[in-house]
Structure formats: structure tokens, C-alpha cells
Amino acid sequence: MWRPRLEQHSAPVLVRGLAAGALGTLALSAWEPLRDGLLGHPPPYSVRDIATRAFRNTWGLRLAPRPAQHLGLLMRWLYGPALGVLYARLRPALPPAARRWGLVPGTGVGLFEQLAFALLRVTAPPRTWTPAEHALLALQVLLYGLVTEAVLSREDAQGSRRSGTSARIRASRR
């Protein structure tokens, strides 16, 4: 029977979460040119547009496109791995079925972004987005979740094989 548990704060959880979140963030960043090509333009939730609006809302200044792109990527590369750590920490408390396909981290990131976008007013209102922009944002956050979960699942499988091998070696020495 499955019983929820939370892993203790530990370096392995931190490192695994950072690695998984970083690879999820890398996948998301690699997806952007294809997304923009499918739309024919950057969506209202592009890192450049978010950084431009955040900077203007906070300091009343408009960023040029290149610095806005850099600031947006910096923000993504800070919160993407951080969310990977959070997910790695909470993941053991989830039933295995909830981990499949990375739906939990993907949906979590999607909800986080929708809430943050609205509260911080860093995008045009979602009601003004096209259906394609909504669909591609959903695909984008699910891609992050899929890659993040895949990294953690693979590490779990490798750890299980190592543990089984170590136990067999110890047993054969007796």
C-alpha cells in the first residue's frame, strides 16, 4: 500500500531537484523558437515581454528588447530550477499515478504562472490571448513538467538498481 512521505532536507534532494528543474527549464527554452514560429510572433507571456512589463511596473522604466530578454531569461533560470527543487521535495508524498507524465509539476507551473501573471500584471490579460497562445502555454508548462519528472524518475530507477546491486553484493559476501 502506498503511504505518503516527505524526504528529509538533504543535499541529494537539492541537487536532484536543481538538475531536474534546470533540464526542464532548458527544454522550455529550446521550445520557445518553435512556439514563436507556430504563432508567427512571440506570445504575450514571452520572457522578454514579461521582463519588460515587470520592469516598467516596478520602476516605471522601459527596457530595450535585448536587456529585457536577458532579464527574462535570468528570471526563468532562477525560478525553473527552484521549482524543480520544490517538486523533488514534495514528490515522494505524491502517489505514483500522480507523477506520471509530469502532470503535477507541469500543472503546478501553469497555475503558478497564471496566478503570478495576473497578480503582477506582467502580461496582457489572458482573456485577450488567442486560443493558440493558451494552448501553447499549456504545452510549454507540460513540457517542463514532463522533462522534470523524467529526470527524477530516471534517477529513482538508477538508485533502485544501485541499491539492489549493493544488496546482492553484500548478500553474496556472507
pLDDT at 47 over 50: yes
Select the highest-mean-pLDDT range: 52-66, 96-110, 144-158. 52-66
Please provide the average confidence, as pLDDT, over all residues in the chain.
87
Specify the higher pLDDT residue, 167 or 46.
46
In the numeric block, the cell 533560470 is attached to: 77
- Provide the pLDDT confidence category of residue 160 given band limits of 50, 70 and 90: low
Q: Identify the pLDDT of residue 49.
A: 96
CB neighbours of residue 113 within 10 Å: 19
Cβ-based neighbours of 39, under 8 Å, separated by 6 or more: 130, 132, 133, 136
Specify the higher pLDDT residue, 102 or 165.
102
Q: Identify the pLDDT of residue 159.
A: 65
Count of helix runs (H) and strand runs (E) in the chain:
6, 0
Q: Identify the pLDDT of residue 170.
A: 47
pLDDT at 4 over 70: no
Can you tell me whether residue 134 is helix, strand or coil?
Answer: helix
Are the C-beta atoms of residues 72 and 50 closer than 8 Å to each other? yes
